[in-house]
Each structure stands twice: as structure tokens, then as C-alpha cells.
Amino acid sequence: MILRSYQSELVTKALGALSEYNNTLAIAPTGAGKTIMMSALLKEIQGRQMILAHREELVEQNRKKFHLINPERTSSITGLGTKDFSGDTIFGMAQTLGRNGNMDKMPALDVLVVDEAHHTRADTYQRIIEAARNKNPDCLIAGFTATGARGDKKGLKPTFDNVCDLITLQKLIDLGFLVPARTFIATLPGLADEIRNVKKTSGGDYDLSEVETLMDTKPVNEAVFREWKNIAGDRKTIVFASTIRHAQDICYLFQSNGIKTECVFGETENRSEILKRFEFGDLQVICNVAVLMEGYDCPPASCIILLRPCSFKSTMIQMIGRGLRTIDPEVHSGIIKRDCIVLDFGESLRIHGDLDQGVRFNDQELMEGDKKECPGCQTMIPVQTYECPVCGYEYPVLQGGKEEKETADVVMMEVDLFKRSPFKWVDIFGGGKVLVASGFNCWVVTASANGNDWIALGKKKEEKIRRLSVGAKIQSLAAADDYLRMHEDTEAATKSKRWLKDQPSFRQLELLQQVGYDARNDFNLRKYEASCLLNFLWNKKYIEPEVFKYAY
């Protein structure tokens, strides 16, 4: 397996920070592949290891992906009803380790990786980390999170004193690993000013019971349904309400208008069944308060409704991030997802401006590298950070500066993706509508019949062609490149690139002749291009129906 470029860069930075500080925090949003990066980091470190999580789904998910990177290591689980510390790598649940003396049974660790590391401020996590350090004072502590800036302004200083890297949401959108958000801000007469004047709790968030009083009214709720119906009525939708009663009232309104809608809360007994129907069945809208904000992924969801203000930008980004996942057409057939519509009735986008996790800064700071010193705690943090994850210091907007955004037009990002790919992409017909790349174990093609609707297909040896992506070009290219990275290794990429200089073999020329391509007078043809041509022409009868299926 070959990591994405930004994943490799983060792992390298994390190794350097662990060597220098014995701890580090990495920040990466939904879709960045945190589990893959954690697994790659642990492969480099070796020794006795533990990945600590707080949810059952994360334990199972982490273990499965870990062995894609580390197939030779043994693993065990402490959690999910078992207490097995025997593996080279232990997958632990914080709740299990935190009770009944289980920390005493934990072996000495060389490295502890904390998933969703913003939870490390909790007492249970602190006791686990302290136990790991007591058993081995040199134990390395690495944290991964999408929300390094905690809403309550409590930094993560008790555990981490540096941030090795920050990957922004916008970067993943630009690279095609997430879909873009189309944002709509509702202007309800008089309500905007009232929302901004809602009192805040001691933790700094808006008093949501007061928000409910303002927003859970018949005129506002009917406006929410009307605008959703007009803008996103055909989409799977996640609604974030202020309170349970607010969510229930919105749910009833949607149901009374014939829309299949359910609510889920922390105590909902059949929550997993409801979520399954939402992802794979006919349930179209799901209402919640905060239970779907973290660690929940449902790629078919392509509309997010915010019915509450978010004092903290990290909270808003978490909620909107639930709708940015791309679609795997093999898992969710018949669904084409190009973007995610965000309907904001709670003023969050107006308050925070955008989805960028960066901070405004001046040109001089940019020239000084990719790190800056936090004025609050003197920690070196990524230059694009707007709130220090270590101490909670929030940077003010600088007058006269300029806002740095990792945005670029699609063409520029396509070129960037091609440059970052370990494999060469071949434009088969020269018109830019059929692009093929080949490894030794598999090949991929991304193509469009009309220049607008793109499909990515991949094929491993001895297996049938697999549909990888349907929709926008940048997402199709990203899915195809990921497929190559998943099934090839660095050695294969190096060998295939050497073929860019080699003449086609006599066997390749014979095979091309057999499929109707006369390459004898094509003196510019190289061995790699011939391989891509053969893969395409051999499978043309399977590729063309897939491409034209989405052309009209």
C-alpha cells in the first residue's frame, strides 16, 4: 500500500516530533485517513503498542485498517467484552481500561496512540496516560483528532506540547477526497440578532434551551421545511437541532409532510437499526441533537441542516463534515454525489465566515516556514492554525493581512493530483476524457462521455472490473489513485515509472496488433503507455457501457 502524499508527510513530521518531544498531536479532518496514518506511524516505531479509542465502532474499524499496513503483527482487543493484552498491538477502549483495575494489567508500552485525542482532557484518559508513563517513562504518546481546538478553550497541554501537522478540510476537498459544500444561510426576519444575543454557558457554548425557545416555533419550522423542500428535497439529510424536543418537533413536521424521518438520541435503543435504514434504506431524513456530530460517517448523506448556532467553529465543521464523504458506488449503487448542501438557520456560517480551519496572517509569517510560535504557551504549531490545541489561545483577525486559503481551481488541483500520484496517467485518445494508469497488480481508468459525468473503474488481476466512483472528475481521479495506492507498493510504482523510458516489448506490439491498434509506426510509444493501452483495449467492451450509462 502507498500512502497519499499528505499522509506520508504527516507521518514523517510525527516521527520527528516524537523523537524531539516524546509526544505529538496531529490534526486531520473527516476523510483524511487518520487510521491509515496511525497504522503507518506505528509500523515505523514498532515495539509494544496500543491504540486507544472511546467507541466500539472505532476499535473494530482501527483494527481492520491497521492490518492493511501491518499484516505481520499480532493484535488483541481490550474492550467489546474482552480483556486481551497479548497482542503486539493492543486496541483498547478507554471505558474498559478505566475501570476494575484493568490499567494494572496493561503491559509496558513503547507507544500509545490516542484516537479522537481531544478527549485526553477527560479524567479516564489522563489516568490511562499516566499509567502508561509510570510503566515506561519513555513511552511515546501520539494523538490524532479532527478537532484539536476544543470548544471549551481547554487546551491539550496535560498530554501534548506540540502539533506536528494540520491537514485542512479544504485541502481534502480540493484533492477530491471530500465533496465540496454548497452553503445557504437563511435570513429569518429578526431572528439573526436574537440568536447572536443568546446567553452562553460557562463552557462558552450557546444556551441551547434558549435557542430552542427562539427557533422551535411553527413559523420557523415551516420555513425550514419549505426551504429544504425547494433546495434539497431529494437528498438524504442530517438535521442538527438545539434540543431533543426541537428535534422531535422537526421530525414530526417532516413526517406529516410525507417525508420518511426519524430521530436518534443517546438513549435511542434501536439507533443502529435506524442509522442502517438511513444509509441503505428508504429513510430520508434523520434528526439529532449532537450524537451524530463525531465519528459518524454516512456517505449517501448530502444535505446538512443546522438548526442551532455554534459558538465554536470546530463544532460547526464537525457537523458539516458528516455530509462531505464521497460515495463508493460498489457499496451505494445508483447514488451520484457531487456536493453537499448546507442549510444554516442558526447563523453559524455568518458568525464563523467559512469552513477554513486556517487563520489570517501576513506575508512575513508565511516566509518563515510552516510553523509559528503560539503567544499563549510558546508551543510551535502549524502556521495555518487559528486556535492553539495545546493551550486554547485564539488568534485575532489581523487588520491589513490576507487570508490564506488552500483553494485552487479544478484544473490546477488535477495537475497537482497527477504530480502527487506515484503512477503516470496516460491520456488514451488525447482529448482528456479517457485517463488510464497501471501498476503490476491492478489498473484504473477514469473517463467521461460528455465531459461532465465521470466514472472511475479499477481492476485487479483475476478479478472483475470494480466501479470506484461516479460523479465529478476530481473525485473520480482521487478514487482511482487511491485504488492504485491500496493494491500496489512503492517498488511497483518505481518499476512502472522506469517503463516510461523503455520501448514497447515485441510481445506488447503483437498484442496491440491483435486488438486492432497498429503501433509499429508509433515511435513515441513507450512500454508503460503500451501497458495502459492494452488494459483499456482488452476491457473496452466492459468500460464503454459503464461510461455511457452516466452520459445523459
pLDDT of 44 over the 60 cut: yes
pLDDT of 299 over the 90 cut: yes
- pLDDT at residue 3, as a whole number: 93
Residue 404: which pLDDT band, with cuts at 50, 70 and 90? very low
* Pick from 10-24, 309-323, 532-546: least confident: 309-323
Residue 504: which pLDDT band, with cuts at 50, 70 and 90? confident
- pLDDT at residue 409, as a whole number: 28
Residue 306: which pLDDT band, with cuts at 50, 70 and 90? very high
The whole-angstrom separation of Cα 448 and Cα 431 is: 11
Average pLDDT value for residue range 408-424? 55
Residue among 355, 346, 343, 259 at smallest CA distance from 303: 343
- pLDDT at residue 161, as a whole number: 87
Distances in Å between the alpha carbon of 249 and those of 215, 252, 286, 373? Answer: 11, 5, 12, 47
- pLDDT at residue 89, as a whole number: 95
Quick check: 383 and 369 in contact, CB under 8 A?
yes
- pLDDT at residue 75, as a whole number: 94
- pLDDT at residue 376, as a whole number: 79
181-352 has the same fold as 5-167 = yes
Average pLDDT value for residue range 261-287? 94
- pLDDT at residue 119, as a whole number: 87
Domain definitions of the chain by residue range = 5-167, 181-352, 410-549
Give the predicted TM-score (pTM) of the model. Answer: 0.82
* Pick from 48-52, 497-501, 542-546: least confident: 497-501
- Straight-line distance from the first to the last Cα atom of the chain, in angstroms, rounded to the nearest whole number: 36
| CA atoms lying within 13 Å on the CB side of residue 439 | 28
- pLDDT at residue 10, as a whole number: 96
Higher-confidence position of 108 and 402: 108
> Domain 5-167 adopts which CATH fold?
Rossmann fold (3.40.50)
Higher-confidence position of 399 and 21: 21
Strands (E), 389-529: 402-403, 426-427, 434-438, 442-448, 454-460, 466-471
The distance from CA 177 to its chain's CA centroid, rounded to whole angstroms, is: 7
Which CATH architecture fits 181-352?
3-Layer(aba) Sandwich (3.40)
pLDDT of 413 over the 60 cut: no
C-alpha R_g of the chain: 25
* Pick from 166-170, 177-181, 535-539: least confident: 166-170
Residue 407: which pLDDT band, with cuts at 50, 70 and 90? very low
Residue 149: which pLDDT band, with cuts at 50, 70 and 90? low
pLDDT tens string 357-400: 443 333 333 223 467 788 877 777 776 666 777 777 776 643 33
- pLDDT at residue 402, as a whole number: 35
